Amino acid sequence: MLSLIGPDIAAYVDAHTTAESPLFARLREETQRDLAMPQMQVGHVEGALLRILVAVSRARSVLEIGTYSGYSGLAMASALPEDGSLVTCDVDPVATAVARRYFAESGHGHKIDLRLAPALDTIAALAAEGRRFDLVFIDADKPNYVNYYEAVFPLLPVGGLIVADNTLWSGKVVAPKEPSDHAIVAFNARVAADPRVEHVLLSVRDGVMLARKLRD
């Protein structure tokens, strides 16, 4: 992932963001050492942003699409109340085995329901269960971003928040070439044209789209 800001600014941002706890630092380091594509992990600064978004929105139920090794899921679960819940889903048994270990060690594991299945199947199952989510974090395969957005929208109350990661896609959104570039462009265009939400595209890390539901 190409950084959108220079190393000096990145270090300054890092130094002026609530420090990472030792558990999160260990999870980040283990992911970098042992797993493929560690750059997929949201990391310290975006993890802090997600924690604050869950806290200020007073979310009680969160859905995450794309668990990987658990950094973002654990960040959000740690901001939920004791009786809050996070459903997180992925298709990768290796990365999610790491996530399961850290969830268990964190003291927030009882809030977390990890489902190993394609996300669209999990969303359909959650809809059939009558589940609702105050906040949904989309961070999985890019070609499905618009599908995820449409599938989770009915599960959010008015005032609910959709947070989507990698929405600047290393800057490739301004000159898209690959199918994944076009998928992110299509997602941002879909949100921008959607009168049901108010939205802001934050240039945090690789870009974070926030879309707040105004009506069904």
Ligand X SMILES: C[S@@+](CC[C@H](N)C(=O)[O-])C[C@H]1O[C@@H](n2cnc3c(N)ncnc32)[C@H](O)[C@@H]1O
Site of interaction with ligand X (CB under 6 A): 40-42, 66, 68-69, 71-72, 89-92, 95, 118-119, 139-141
Measure the CA–CA gap between 27 and 17, rounded to whole angstroms: 18
Euclidean distance between CA atoms 148 and 183, whole angstroms: 12
CB of 5 to ligand X, least distance (A): 19
Q: Provide, rounded to whole angstroms, the least separation between the CB of residue 216 and ligand X.
A: 25
25 or 158: CB nearest ligand X: 25
Asked if 71 and 78 touch (Cβ cutoff 8 Å), the reply is: no
Q: How far is the CB of 93 from ligand X (least distance, A)?
A: 9
State which residue, 8 or 182, has the beta carbon closest to ligand X.
182
Pairing of strands 135-138, 61-65: parallel
Chain position carrying tokens 């969160």: 62
Nearest to ligand X of 180, 196 (CB atom): 180
Strands 161-165 and 61-65: unpaired
Minimum CB separation of residue 152 from ligand X in Å reads 13
Q: Which is nearer to ligand X, 42 or 54 (CB)?
A: 42
Alpha-carbon distance 46 to 41, whole Å?
9
